[in-house]
Amino acid sequence: MHLGKWLAAATIACWVSLTPWAAGAQTAPPSPPDLSALDAMVMKRMTDAGMVGVGAAIIVDKKLVWMKGYGYADRERGTPFTPATVMNIGSISKTVTGTAMMLAVEEGKLSLDEDINTYLPFKVVNPYFPTVPITLRQLATHTSSISDRWPVYKNTYHYGGDSPVKLGDFLANYFDKGGTDYAEDNFVKHKPGTYREYSNIGAGLAGFIVERAVGEPLNTYTRRRIFAPLKMDDTAWFLSEVKPSKHARLYVSQMDLAIPIEPYGGTTYPDGGVRTSVADLSKLFMMILDNGKLGDVRVLKEGSVRAMRTLQFNASNKPDNVKLDEKNAGLFWESKFNMTRIGHGGMDPGLKTEMLSSLSGDIGVVLFTNTSVDNDGMKHYVALFEDLWKQAEAMKRTRAE
């Protein structure tokens, strides 16, 4: 069957199978939605932004109701982008690190509010506030006072393969006063817990703490405790763990050109190293939205998921630079669009991703592109996300009827 016809048939089948109308009902189920207008809009947004490939999924009431791929996973080879295409997802990876962190908390191996130096072979101390401890909760809400010093952090991207630098070695050099990358500017001049500074290195540190607490590398621990139970069979942390034939090529779009770039890995991989597909990531998303389980498979306890999704900032406890009507955060779980959506996004060379739900969790959208876009292109990406969100709302209304 022609790919486009197959995808259309699969889309309709997915919608019908997940609606609440059972076989033998007194009234006939409604017709599946006409998605031709959505397909046309996606293709227009892609053209306007210069995106090579796109994959997306819609989740309604914790169930997958639609997913589809458009364009190319590898333009030069003519490989189509499908929901099974694997690619880097950038900072959405932090939600996997957060899930692993909460599993370690459940096991009694970590505490969210303990001084992280309890778990480390080197000291992490803000030199401007040397007596104030830094906690995992602060790492997970980006209030730890750790800064991504760009001259150092930019070198954590390793083009051509996985990073040859070990995570622990990098962190020791960054935080130990005798380390080659240590500087007071590795921290902001604000007391831990009082100022929000988004920190990828802080997230990498959280992943390293999980590794030490569970006594297992993060990639194998998450494979055993998260990916395998959820049947996320095409999900991994490192390039070496993914079949090249399944991995998308990444592109940078500028001046109406989409330029392919080398694959890469990151030294601080817990901050953004996951490689997965729209189909696989949707399983993780539904698990979180359904309080720690997917179908009959439970990954996290309900209390752990509530802790992840609970907004941590309030009028009496918030960073000095945060406006509560504009921003809040769970544990590696971020509000977006002025407190109307929550989840996480990702952006790295050659990619832009989003995994966001409504605050109640009744609607969710996953959106991947294997193309990093300029400022004008980003407007089209955001518009595409809004197109998908409106479609999700329409599907929600149809299911309610």
pTM of the model: 0.91
User: Rounded mean pLDDT of 118-123?
Assistant: 98
pLDDT at 6 over 50: no
Model confidence pLDDT, tens digit, residues 335-387: 999 999 999 999 999 999 999 999 999 999 999 999 998 888 999 999 999 99
Quick check: helix, strand or coil at residue 284?
helix
Q: Does residue 22 lie within any of the structural domains?
A: no
pLDDT at 243 over 80: yes
Q: Does residue 29 lie within any of the structural domains?
A: no
Model confidence pLDDT, tens digit, residues 75-98: 999 999 999 999 999 999 999 999
Q: Does residue 304 lie within any of the structural domains?
A: yes
User: Rounded mean pLDDT of 326-330?
Assistant: 96
Q: Does residue 360 lie within any of the structural domains?
A: yes
CA distances from 169 to 267, 376, 381 (A): 10, 39, 37
Q: Does residue 368 lie within any of the structural domains?
A: yes
How far does the chain reach from its first CA to its final CA, in angstroms?
Answer: 33
DSSP annotation of 130 reads: T
Name the domain count of the chain. 1
Q: Say how many CA atoms lie within 13 Å of 116 toward its Cβ.
A: 27
Mean pLDDT for the chain overall: 92
Q: Does residue 229 lie within any of the structural domains?
A: yes
For the CA atoms of 74, 273, 334, 103, what is the dihedral angle to 10 degrees? 130
Model confidence pLDDT, tens digit, residues 308-325: 999 999 999 999 999 999
C-alpha 119/C-alpha 116 separation (Å) is 6
pLDDT cut 70: percent of the chain above it: 91
pLDDT value at position 24? 36
CA distances from 120 to 183, 268, 338 (A): 19, 16, 36
Which secondary-structure segment (H or E) carries 277? none
pLDDT at 18 over 60: no
C-alpha 381/C-alpha 53 separation (Å) is 12
| Pairing between β-strand 53-60 and β-strand 63-74 as defined by DSSP bridges | antiparallel
Q: Which residues form the domain of 157?
A: 34-400
For residue 267, which amino acid is it? T
C-alpha 183/C-alpha 192 separation (Å) is 17
C-alpha 362/C-alpha 247 separation (Å) is 31
Q: Does residue 380 lie within any of the structural domains?
A: yes
Quick check: helix, strand or coil at residue 109?
coil
CATH of the domain at 301: 3.40.710.10
pLDDT value at position 400? 76
Buried b / exposed e over 354-388, threshold 16 CB at 10 Å, is: bbbbbeebbbbbbbbbbbbbeeebeebbbebbebb
pLDDT value at position 29? 40
Q: Does residue 21 lie within any of the structural domains?
A: no
For the CA atoms of 317, 319, 323, 327, what is the dihedral angle to 10 degrees? -90
